[in-house]
Amino acid sequence: MVGQKWVRLVTAQTPTNIAVIKYWGKRDETLILPVNDSISVTLDPNHLCTTTTVAVSPAFDRDRMWLNGKEISLVGGRYQNCLREIRKRATDVEDKEKGIKIAKNDWENLHVHIASHNNFPTAAGLASSAAGFACLVFALAKLMNVREDEGKLSSIARQGSGSACRSLYGGFVKWIMGNNEDGSDSLAVQLADEKHWDDLVILIAVVSSRQKETSSTSGMRESVETSLLLKHRAQEIVPKRVVQMEEAIKNKDFPSFASLTCADSNQFHAICLDTSPPIFYMNDTSHKIISIVEKWNRAEGTPQVAYTFDAGPNAVLIAHDRKAASELLKRLLFYFPPGAGTDLNSYVIGDKSIL
């Protein structure tokens, strides 16, 4: 290393993703290997994203991390797993302008500082860990000049949080569950890029920004241990649904896309109810939103909007086009007028896509 007073910084920004075929259940908790494939859409980075700055300097005496301005502990598996996997692949770095030269072997003695910020509620069922770990792995890989493709980086991000592997790509993404015991084939692939089907509009109705009571990790564990429906879903339902969803995305077939998306969200929440003790992620407002959308879709004769809910009560609504999105917003404002003390407190609207 040349000079001891330098700091090398890299900043990255990664959007979150929303699953339209859900991941729920692990076959290996340490490596984070799922019981089924899943498919997601990556959101527009202007709305829900994580920004992470990673820094390395010989002056740092240990790895440290701040999340939304508060220092958090890096002790424990997930952060350590990502750091270890990236450090293992670090290569030489030379920044002539700043006079920084780091040899491959130096990395094991250097420490990093990480500052990460979400522009949306953390752990409220808006996939904050997906954007967070994807961004962390991407930024660390740039910092340490890791020369792996996105597929490999996605399998490292997966070890931070399962859904994070899907945020390494824009557009429509599939997380292939893989078969290998070491997880080497459990990674994300892009099904279609962000320009594909860009007339879809995603609207997120924030029902609650409170942290959820049951974390996804413990909820999944309990579902795997107790839900018979989960086994049926993973083995019989999802493999067929994934093929149908890929076809619907390829053909921009909104009626199929919407019915698969809604059915899969409802089945995921049915599994939560089938878990012992049962897990309730949706609330009365979520149910009311489902009923508004279902009635409207039925009245139109063809779906205008798809809904999906993750591990929380917030609705992710995917409209067929801008006209349907504006009609949807009108309906939501009618049923949940601002300032009328309803549970719906804000809407985030965005086109899908773009990394």
| 127 vs 328, beta carbon nearer ligand 2P0 | 127
Residue 5, Ramachandran bin (φ over 0: left; ψ between -120 and 50: alpha; else beta):
alpha
> Is residue 313 within 8 Å of residue 244, measured between CB atoms?
no
Q: Give least dist CB 73 to ligand 2P0, A.
A: 17
> Is residue 212 within 8 Å of residue 265, measured between CB atoms?
no
Q: Which stretch binds ligand 2P0 (CB under 6 A): 22-30, 107-115, 136-144, 185-193?
A: 22-30
Binding string, residues 262-281; x marks residues near ligand 2P0 by CB under 6 A? ------x-------------
For the chain, give percent helix, strand, coil, nearest 5.
40, 25, 35
- Select from 309, 305, 347, 318 the least CA-distant residue to 201: 318
Q: Give least dist CB 29 to ligand 2P0, A.
A: 8
Q: Give least dist CB 344 to ligand 2P0, A.
A: 20
Size, binding site for ligand 2P0 by CB under 6 A: 17
| 225 vs 321, beta carbon nearer ligand 2P0 | 225
353 counts as binding ligand 2P0 under rule CB under 6 A = no
> Is residue 42 within 8 Å of residue 192, measured between CB atoms?
no
Q: Which of residues 222-261 bind ligand 2P0 (CB under 6 A)?
A: none
Q: Which of residues 305-344 bind ligand 2P0 (CB under 6 A)?
A: 310-311
32 counts as binding ligand 2P0 under rule CB under 6 A = yes
Which residue is at the shortest CB distance from ligand 2P0? 162
Q: What angle do CA 253, 259, 265 make, to 5 degrees?
A: 130
22 counts as binding ligand 2P0 under rule CB under 6 A = yes
Q: Which of residues 64-123 bind ligand 2P0 (CB under 6 A)?
A: none
Q: Can you tell me whether residue 112 is helix, strand or coil?
A: strand
Q: Which of 14, 16, 36, 38 binds ligand 2P0 (CB under 6 A)?
A: 38
- Select from 118, 57, 55 the least CA-distant residue to 65: 55
How many other β-carbons are positioned within 10 Å of the β-carbon of residue 108? 9
129 counts as binding ligand 2P0 under rule CB under 6 A = yes
| 282 vs 324, beta carbon nearer ligand 2P0 | 282
- DSSP category for residue 43: B
How many other β-carbons are positioned within 10 Å of the β-carbon of residue 132? 26
Binding site for ligand 2P0 (CB under 6 A): 19, 22-24, 32, 38, 127, 129-130, 161-163, 216-217, 268, 310-311
